[in-house]
């Protein structure tokens, strides 16, 4: 586990209130917490964030939970109750950032919308992540990451021509939105240093995916061209594909630089393709991608994956193979760069992903795994001035 000096953390002293659940909001506040922010996560009493029960469980709690909620404090609070809403206002009064990913209008219905909270705390920065954003004709529709990936254009490009669209395998639409949200928070903090004022950050899942779509729209606008799914290939960039080896595995080869392409063709003993003037540059190679891919595939299928990888490394051709979890946790490069760390959790010692990005002087850290439900409720509420008797009364009424 990283043991860093808390005083050296970039976001030390920043107070973040997380009112989100599942992925998009909590992923954003996770990153802020990794770099020193105090993250107070508000969860429904008795049940908590649904992510606690997602995927593989150990000792009754999701292993994912210990990644997504590390470094956070858990406070249980009924946001639908007036007393719970009043506690939120007390928390927000001196907070720097509020993160939420409810459907637009939900917080306003509880009297906790941007207008009210920003009047209470003009320095507040409010990150709001939703399926379609806080405005527009679709704002009130429910939207999970899968919908953002579909509307943003990613699902249309995923898979093989003529086949049903496939998902990436992780909740990439949510995570992309989280990253855009963190960027927004950091920008707003920088601006607040000048103006002294907070602001509202509106992140939509579909827009976060759409922002990754490269030249999709300009190509359509200029040529009426609609980009279609292309399986494992990278359309218009040649060669860049996956190729089968004789042990049933696959390698990924990116030989699309001009000099790299020549070295690759020489390696596979296709000097004719290396010297062909049509293939000197990518635009010519892209017009004959099938021919070039076939030549590479004829070479890889004669060798094992390890033989192919070693030969490509020696020829200085970028190559790799699809890692699974077992490959990742034993890879020496992952380990050397502290991308696999061990943290103490309620499930025992647990290997988890390391912290990104890597700062040379003030790096992030993992302090602890995901908290137990309501683990910090008493400490946090006592810090707001609520007595033992007041907290007990709230607990008896199901508010906390």
Judge whether residue 5 has pLDDT over 70: no
Peptide bond into 357 cis (omega under 30): yes
Please write the tens of the pLDDT for every residue from 42-55: 999 999 999 999 99
Residue 1 lies in a domain: no
For the segment 10-15, the average pLDDT, to the nearest whole number, is 97
pLDDT of residue 1: 40
Please write the tens of the pLDDT for every residue from 54-104: 999 999 999 999 999 999 999 999 999 999 999 999 999 999 999 999 999
Question: Computed from CA positions of residues 98, 101, 102, 108, in that sequence, does the dihedral angle turn out positive or negative?
Answer: positive
pLDDT band of 152, cuts 50, 70, 90: very high
Residue 202 sits in which domain range? 6-211+333-396
Residue 176 lies in a domain: yes
pLDDT of residue 7: 64
Residue 219 lies in a domain: no
Judge whether residue 32 has pLDDT over 70: yes
Question: What is the CA angle 361-362-368, rounded to 5?
Answer: 140
Asked if 152 and 184 sit in the same domain, the reply is: yes
- The rounded distance, in Å, linking the Cα atoms of 189 and 201 is 11
Tokens (6 digits) for 210: 């759409």
Judge whether residue 189 has pLDDT over 80: yes
pTM of the entire structure? 0.92
Exposure of 17 by Cβ count < 10 A (0-12 exposed, 13-18 middle, 19+ buried)?
A: buried
Asked if 28 and 75 sit in the same domain, the reply is: yes
- The rounded distance, in Å, linking the Cα atoms of 314 and 318 is 10
How many Cα atoms occupy the beta-carbon half-sphere of 329 within 13 Å? 8
Asked if 311 and 189 sit in the same domain, the reply is: no
**Which of 258, 293, 320 lies at the terminal end of a domain, its last residue?**
320
Residue 232 lies in a domain: no
Asked if 288 and 183 sit in the same domain, the reply is: no
**Which of 267, 290, 320 lies at the terminal end of a domain, its last residue?**
320
Asked if 50 and 144 sit in the same domain, the reply is: yes
- The rounded distance, in Å, linking the Cα atoms of 283 and 212 is 23
pLDDT of residue 8: 84
pLDDT of residue 3: 46
Asked if 267 and 205 sit in the same domain, the reply is: no
Asked if 11 and 92 sit in the same domain, the reply is: yes
Tokens 């060798």 correspond to 303
Residue 228 lies in a domain: no
Where in the sequence numbering do the catalytic residues fall?
Answer: 174
Asked if 175 and 41 sit in the same domain, the reply is: yes
**Which of 263, 286, 320 lies at the terminal end of a domain, its last residue?**
320
Asked if 47 and 172 sit in the same domain, the reply is: yes
CATH of the domain at 262: 3.30.1540.10
For the segment 321-347, the average pLDDT, to the nearest whole number, is 95
In the chain, the number of structural domains is 2
Parallel/antiparallel/unpaired status of strands 250-254 and 319-320: antiparallel
Judge whether residue 112 has pLDDT over 90: yes
Element (H, E) at 100: strand 97-100
Asked if 119 and 256 sit in the same domain, the reply is: no
Residue 77 lies in a domain: yes
Residues 6+ apart with CB under 8 A from 378: 391
Residue 327 lies in a domain: no
CATH of the domain at 61: 3.40.50.10540
pLDDT of residue 2: 44
- The rounded distance, in Å, linking the Cα atoms of 94 and 79 is 19
Asked if 313 and 342 sit in the same domain, the reply is: no
Residue 174 lies in a domain: yes
Please write the tens of the pLDDT for every residue from 250-289: 999 999 999 999 999 999 999 999 999 999 999 999 999 9
Asked if 311 and 338 sit in the same domain, the reply is: no
Average model confidence (pLDDT) across the chain = 95
Tokens (6 digits) for 25: 């909001």
Instruction: Give the Cβ contact number of residue 15 at 10 Å.
Output: 16
């Amino acid at each position: 586990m990283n043991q860093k000096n808390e005083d050296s953390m970039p976001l030390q002293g920043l107070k973040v209130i997380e009112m989100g659940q599942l992925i998009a909001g909590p992923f954003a506040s996770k990153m802020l917490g990794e770099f020193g922010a105090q993250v107070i996560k508000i969860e429904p009493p008795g049940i908590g964030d649904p992510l606690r029960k997602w995927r593989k469980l150990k000792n009754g709690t999701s292993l994912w939970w210990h990644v997504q909620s590390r470094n956070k404090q858990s406070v249980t609070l009924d946001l639908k109750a007036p007393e719970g809403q009043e506690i939120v206002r007390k928390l927000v009064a001196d907070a720097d950032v509020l993160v939420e990913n409810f459907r637009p209008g939900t917080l306003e219905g509880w009297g906790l919308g941007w207008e009210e909270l920003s009047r209470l705390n003009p320095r507040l920065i409010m990150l709001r992540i939703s399926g379609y954003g806080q405005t527009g004709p679709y704002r009130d529709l429910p939207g999970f990451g899968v919908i953002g990936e579909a509307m943003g254009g990613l699902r249309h490009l995923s898979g093989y021509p003529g086949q049903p669209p496939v998902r990436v395998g992780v909740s990439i639409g949510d995570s992309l939105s989280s990253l855009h949200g963190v960027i927004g928070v950091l920008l707003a903090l920088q601006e607040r240093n000048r103006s002294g004022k907070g602001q509202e950050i509106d992140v939509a899942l579909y827009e976060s995916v759409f922002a990754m779509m490269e030249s999709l729209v300009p190509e359509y606008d200029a040529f009426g061209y609609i980009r279609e799914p292309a399986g494992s290939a990278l359309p218009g960039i040649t060669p860049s594909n996956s190729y089968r080896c004789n042990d049933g595995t696959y390698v990924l080869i990116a030989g699309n630089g001009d000099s790299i392409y020549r070295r690759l063709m020489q390696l596979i003993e296709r000097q004719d393709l290396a010297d062909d003037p049509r293939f000197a540059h990518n635009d010519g190679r892209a017009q004959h991608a099938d021919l070039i891919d076939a030549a590479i595939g004829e070479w890889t299928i004669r060798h094992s994956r390890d033989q192919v990888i070693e030969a490509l490394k020696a020829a200085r051709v970028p190559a790799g193979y699809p890692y699974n979890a077992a490959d990742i946790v034993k890879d020496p490069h992952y380990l050397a760069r502290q991308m696999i760390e061990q943290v103490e959790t309620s499930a025992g010692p647990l290997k988890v992903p390391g912290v990104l990005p890597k700062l040379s002087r003030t790096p992030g850290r993992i302090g602890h795994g995901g908290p137990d439900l309501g683990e910090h409720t008493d400490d946090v509420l006592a810090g707001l001035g609520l007595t033992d008797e007041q907290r007990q009364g709230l607990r008896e009424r199901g508010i906390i």
